[in-house]
Chains A and B, each alone.
Chain A
């Protein structure tokens, strides 16, 4: 059941353009197509210069976070009919805010990954592990940090967070989520170090609890709740 879908895409080519501008494309698509499929149709058969990142095409690799009708979404997790594209509504697509645009929908993710690295995103345990068996962990303890293990580092949360746009020194929700994943892991002993890092400057207290991040997360991680739990841990720690 092919239908006509119109995309209005913010374009910017560093080698040609002084500033970004919109271009509109109308192509055939199925209501069940992903927005990523439609972008591919444009790129493969209409305008090869359209540039975006993508890989897995089903919401697990975190490559294609972008603004779709003003909200950060993975292009591979939104279907044409989810945004009314099959009923003639124009779909507006822009790069995420809060990041430098490299080309069209591709933004510079390096600062984002630097912030992720800053919170020591790896298990810290100063005791020797058992020689030939796993460290035990109860099902209850495993459950506590389950949700924050789902993060795919797409940046949709950080890119929807006004304090993140405003403050280059704010690590942002994605880094906090990953700190949470370790701080609440019963096998980890680096909680205090990480809370210290997160407490520097305004740290986690920059968060204004406006829930943009939670709404943006394609993995349904309760981001704001995780931030709250970290704040509580910090106050308790002081």
Chain B
């Protein structure tokens, strides 16, 4: 079926909704999402969204900008960090006006709390910058933005799975999507497309990410010739529930929670004397890794440490950390009022993604050449505001700040530009893709099941492209990925139906995960240094001479990475320094 819209937004999480809200009323816009909007993973965000409001103590956007740059180990583009820190303030106020139920100070202002890596006066000590709604901040942002979408009458295509990005004469002209309920293929002809499809945490075994976080938008763009940037920069959050990875927000430590090893020692003190448990995530995850490696992990396999909030008292826990303490009770049968909660680092956030400039326009190369009509925002995009390591609460800001900017830029674009026609045979690639997965339901030579390949992918990424990496693990993973791609070519489906065929969807999602994993592994292998989330025990130092640059990965037609290029980092106010906390 053919549709025509001025603009389509792919994804209805925080970033997609914010973008769609800019377009509605000013252009004919559709929001396409494989989940009902309220099911998007933004709803899982817990701890907070930061802005230098200064509601409870002195704060300035310059401090926020500095923390973002330093937190990103100087891979952050500083023009983007400045936009983030400045615009954050307006966006928070705007969402409060939309009805977002923030927690309040005694005077009735938006309350703020501490979060990792956020400091006063360029690193002197922790500052209260994170605005929050208990520990369901993301839920309230998602609800509030979706509700505004309802109010403004945004046209949603719910449970539509986007398959392909259409480009003609050097301009972006639309997408194709599979309607999950009917199995029908739809083409959305559009002047502008905004990708807001979230991250790819499901490439790892232990992750805080939803099953739906499979990097679809990144993969779809990548296959259409757009590079992916800094994919090796993948964040492991220090505190996932042991074994299953469900997140326990940094807010727990922001409110005074403490990490302890098997001996009861507060080990962060030893590594980061100033910020201690509130050092940035890449560091705390490595501290935990080190504790476990040196035999101070707890449990029969000595493979976890404890997060303690018991000393905060029941009132603080119930008022500020109700959901996450409930997760500990539900999933581990542990009572956080009384005891430490077993935790281990969990795959959490993609700093990398589809490269854009500070207006959300997708760029194609190291010279920042724009692909007209194509935009990206949120976790799917890489502005790059998070550099090599994102600070807590900076993603939610990223969604609303750059979701809005991408939306506004798209409004401008659709008003100033005429329609470009669709390419000839615009459904061919989608039909081939569907044909390939569908064929697996009758071809008896195809014997692989997606479940096995996914499990092997997740286990191998967990072993080889994790908190600590090196030449050996990364080379092994390249070999493994080549094997998995070959097997993927032989997958077989059991569900032969067209309606609500989620087995087919999962197979498509697995294909996207493979693309993302390949770009991430290759980027990590060639980046011969340690910076932020990329920690290599064979190259332990940061190397600003050779690698103060963003990786751009281009895909080969048959899968795998064809070429890596490097794009210089934008430095405006802060010269790179050693990162100490």
Contact = CB atoms under 8 A, between A and B. Distances in A.
Most A CB within 10 A of own CB, among B107, B147, B498: B147
Given A51-B500, A63-B35, 19 more contacts: A14-B499, A44-B455, A47-B494, A49-B495, A56-B43, A57-B246, A58-B246, A59-B327, A77-B330, A117-B150, A134-B93, A134-B97, A134-B102, A136-B104, A139-B104, A139-B105, A146-B134, A149-B101, A187-B99
Contacts of B109: 134, 136
A15 B379 CA distance: 37
B36 A142 contact: no
Interface stretch (A18-26, A91-99, A121-129, A223-231): A121-129
B264 interface: no
Contact of A122 (B151, B332, B452, B503): B151
Contact of B39 (A55, A58, A187): A55
Interface string A52-92: 11111111111100000000000001010000000000000
A133 B109 CA distance: 9
Given A138-B104, A149-B101, A60 B44 contact: yes
B497 interface: yes
B210 A55 contact: yes
Given A16-B497, A152-B139, A62 B103 contact: no
A8 B99 CA distance: 44
Given A122-B151, A137-B104, A49 B499 contact: no
Contacts of B35: 55, 61, 63
A107 to B, nearest CB: 11
B140 A122 contact: no
A46 to B, nearest CB: 9
B482 interface: no
Interface in B78-122: 90, 92-93, 96-99, 101-110
Interface residues of B, number: 63
A121 B150 contact: yes
Interface range for A: 35 or more
A56 B44 contact: yes
Interface in A1-40: 13-16, 32, 34
Contacts of A57: 210-211, 246
B106 A139 contact: yes
A106 interface: yes
A150 B499 contact: no
Contacts of A113: 36
Contact of B497 (A49, A79, A137, A153): A49
B338 interface: no
A82 to B, nearest CB: 9
Contacts of B93: 132-134
B44 A136 contact: no
A60 B38 contact: no
A224 to B, nearest CB: 21
A59 B330 contact: yes
A197 interface: no
B210 A56 contact: yes
28 contacts: A44-B454, A45-B451, A48-B503, A49-B503, A53-B502, A55-B35, A55-B39, A55-B210, A55-B211, A56-B39, A56-B43, A56-B211, A57-B210, A61-B41, A61-B44, A62-B39, A102-B500, A103-B497, A113-B36, A122-B98, A122-B147, A123-B147, A136-B104, A137-B104, A138-B108, A149-B101, A150-B136, A150-B139
Contact of B43 (A52, A61, A187): A61
A203 B99 CA distance: 25
A44 B133 contact: no
A57 B77 CA distance: 34
A132 B53 CA distance: 11
A54 B498 contact: no
A185 interface: yes
Interface in B468-502: 493-502
Nearest to A106: B500
B451 A44 contact: yes
B43 A134 contact: no
Contacts of A45: 449, 451-452
B181 interface: yes
Interface in A143-182: 145-146, 149-150, 152-153, 182
Which 4 pairs, one residue from A and one from B, show the smallest C-beta to C-beta distance? Answer: A123-B99, A44-B451, A136-B108, A48-B494
A182 B93 CA distance: 19
A192 interface: no
Contact of B500 (A103, A150, A188): A103
Contact of B148 (A54, A122, A133): A122
Contacts of B40: 61
Contact of A56 (B41, B454, B503): B41
A182 B101 CA distance: 10
A121 B147 contact: yes
A43 interface: yes
B419 interface: no
A142 B140 contact: no
Given A55-B41, A58-B44, A187-B99, A102 B136 contact: no
A193 to B, nearest CB: 13
B494 A49 contact: yes
Given A15-B499, A60-B139, A134-B109, A44 B450 contact: yes
Nearest to A14: B499
B331 interface: yes
A43 B495 CA distance: 10
A135 interface: yes
B212 interface: yes
Contacts of A51: 495, 500-503
B104 A142 contact: yes
A48 B510 CA distance: 14
A16 B151 CA distance: 40
A123 B92 CA distance: 16
Contact of B499 (A79, A103, A117, A142): A103
A45 B450 CA distance: 9
Most A CB within 10 A of own CB, among B92, B136, B332, B454: B136
A45 B500 CA distance: 19
Contacts of B496: 49
B89 to A, nearest CB: 9
A54 B451 CA distance: 16
